[in-house]
Amino acid sequence: MCGIVGYIGNKRAAPIILAGLKRLEYRGYDSAGVSTIDGGALTMAKKAGKVADLERATTVSKTEGTIGIGHTRWATHGVPNDVNAHPHADSSDNIVLVHNGIIENYVTIKKKLTAQGYAFKSDTDSEVLAVFIGMLYKTFGNFEQAVRTALCEVEGTFGIVVMCAEHPDMLIAARRGSPLILGVGNDEYVVASDAAAIVSHTRQVVYLHENEMAIVTRNGFTTKTILDIETDPVIEEISIELEQIEKGGFPHFMLKEIFEQPTTFHDGFRGRLLVDEGNVRLGGLSTVTDRLLNAKRIIITACGTSWHAALIGEYLLENMARIPVEVEYASEFRYRNPIIDSSDVVIAISQSGETADTLSAIRLAKANGATVIGMVNVVGSSIARETDAGVYLHAGPEIGVASTKAFTSQLCVLTQFSLYMARTRGMSAETGREIATALEAIPEMIERILAKSDEVKEIARQYADASNFLYLGRGYNFPVALEGALKLKEISYIHAEGYPAAEMKHGPIALINENMPVVFIAPKDEIYEKVVSNIEEVRARQGKVIAIASESDDFIDTVANHVIKIPDTLPMLIPILASIPLQLLAYHIAVFRDCNVDMPRNLAKSVTVE
């Protein structure tokens, strides 16, 4: 997702905006730009590439204006180049804006503006919005009215910040479907799409709601709907620390976040897990307890890594709580006219809490009367606000585009939710204590696996030049195979596929030869022998086997080329432990291939447009 930063105050705006944009680089982008109002005129600088390229190629950091906006763009309409980079100005260089989202009816608006003699420099939908606002400003002579009228006319999603050279003491921000936060400081205000760009200035923030705009001046701010109805802003305090969004001595954010997992996993059950009672206290669900107890079915909806966590959640809930569960890609859910009613519980899983497809899915579920629960990481995010109840992950800011600690935190929360549901549906306290005790031991086990990072690195060195990988697992560990393959694809650009191990003979076995590394998740569980048989089949075809296996397994070393041992635990908790070496394997391979680990090409941290 693109990054937005806007500033108005008593300091030079450009350096603050550039610093904020650097804080947002992890979100993924292909160009950057900054505009300020300096001496009553707009200054503009934008450049394809990184924020550092913008700084080197322009004098933007030297501008004196104390109001400005900046943007890191992830291309949707128009190729990544200097012209298509944001900000975009109207035809008279009086109005300028930055925009996250997609204006779906921009072609229609552009045709009308072209017919009136307006010309366009870029291929973007965002410039159309800037020119449209500029035209309306000429019509009304009122900056706020022009912005509000334009936003009532456009279809699609937006998070925008707009300024006008004739109003050098005002910023206007608005959102629909794309997050915006207003930071309230001492005689200064920072608008951003992410708290990471705000935290060094203030902890006091206002989260803009859907179809809400903020009119920010040097003396204060007001909020209202785009229909001009005043709203009451709530100032909240963000809790993240600057150290959390810095590398802390690690070469990459991804590696830092992999190594944070003993702590983040513990934070996910701290204060919730009742080991002696064999139960869980989830305060965020207290308002929907009765609806959970009476649920006929649970639907879990998510995208990407969160979808893989949801698949494991399906195994957990059906095995422990004996309730039917369906897992849906959020991107497909609302387009197939799903059958949902008031007896259903819909769980939305998202690290950012802003995933556009997942937001659309929960809105559909609520419209059909279902109880909707959010499992998100970012406090105050759209999903957290729009669901009926929820459980935060408490994983802290995740900067690396490829999710690691958020995934294991999702599994931590899903396991606790499953235990909570199971205990209310008849699971004995003794069984509950066994699960709770095992879950409590996971952070220490993760630490033991992380101590094997150099061992995994040596395996990665041998396969860094591979063209393809196959990941195989069964039962709880089939989704782990999917997640392991996704991690490798995301950051190393190696083609990788995840399959149920038993499905290997239904097609993928044709790919196996001496150049094909095959990763097996092969713990000592009730289907261990069947997985070993699959390993033998791969070895018979000269495939290279990398096995994730239990510490108690001495036999696996005789059939696998490489073995990474993980501590023994309950089968339902193995996915948590097995995912750690797969994260390390993907990371080390990507480093050997000299890939941009934290910001893989073409990827954004949060997908806020369809």
- pLDDT value at position 398? 87
Given 22, 405, 487, 605, the catalytic residue: 605
Q: pLDDT by residue (tens digit) across 276-314?
A: 999 999 999 999 999 998 999 999 999 999 999 999 999
Residue with token string 């934008």 = 46
184-188, 247-251, 490-494: the lowest-pLDDT one:
247-251
**How much is the pLDDT for 336?**
84
User: Tens of pLDDT along 370-392?
Assistant: 999 999 988 888 898 899 999 99
Name the residue among 59, 69, 73 with its Cα closest to residue 16. 69
In the residue annotation, 605 being an active-site residue is answered as yes
The dihedral formed by the CA atoms of 378, 381, 387 and 393, expressed in degrees to the nearest 10: 0
Q: How far apart are CA 537 and CA 506, in angstroms?
A: 13
Mean pLDDT of 89-97: 95
Cα separation, 579 vs 164, whole angstroms: 50
178 three-class SS: coil
Least confident of 27-31, 45-49, 204-208, 281-285: 27-31
Q: Are 201 and 190 in contact (CB under 8 A)?
A: yes
CB 78 within 8 A of CB 105: no
Burial 343-353 (b: 16+ CB within 10 A, else e): ebbbbbbbbbb
The whole-number pLDDT of residue 337 equals 84
Residue 382 has what pLDDT?
A: 86
| Residues 85, 127: Cα–Cα separation, whole Å | 10
Burial of 454 (0-12, 13-18, 19+ CB in 10 A): exposed
535-578 pLDDT, tens per residue? 888 888 888 999 999 999 999 999 999 999 999 999 999 999 99
Given the residues 2, 164, 303, 412, the one annotated as active site: 2
Question: How far is the CA of 401 from the CAs of 28, 138, 478, 562, 610, in angstroms?
Answer: 7, 42, 23, 28, 18
pLDDT, tens digit, 9 for 90 and up, residues 502-520: 887 788 777 788 888 999 9
For each of the domains in the chain, give its residue range(s) and CATH number, in order of start. Answer: 3-238 (3.60.20.10), 245-440 (3.40.50.10490), 451-610 (3.40.50.10490)
- % of the chain with per-residue pLDDT over 70: 98
Q: Residue 498 — pLDDT band, cuts 50, 70, 90?
A: very high
Question: Do the beta carbons of residue 495 and residue 591 sit within 8 Å?
Answer: no
Indicate the pLDDT class of residue 607, thresholds 50, 70 and 90.
low
Handedness of CA 261, 406, 240, 587 (dihedral sign): positive
- Asked if residue 121 lies in contact with residue 196, where contact means CB atoms within 8 angstroms, the answer is no
Residue 610 has a pLDDT of: 56
Residue 246 CA to residue 244 CA, distance in Å, equals: 6
Determine the residue type at 424: T
Q: Is the pLDDT of residue 78 over 90?
A: no
The predicted-structure confidence for 233-248, as pLDDT tens digits, reads as follows: 999 998 776 667 677 7
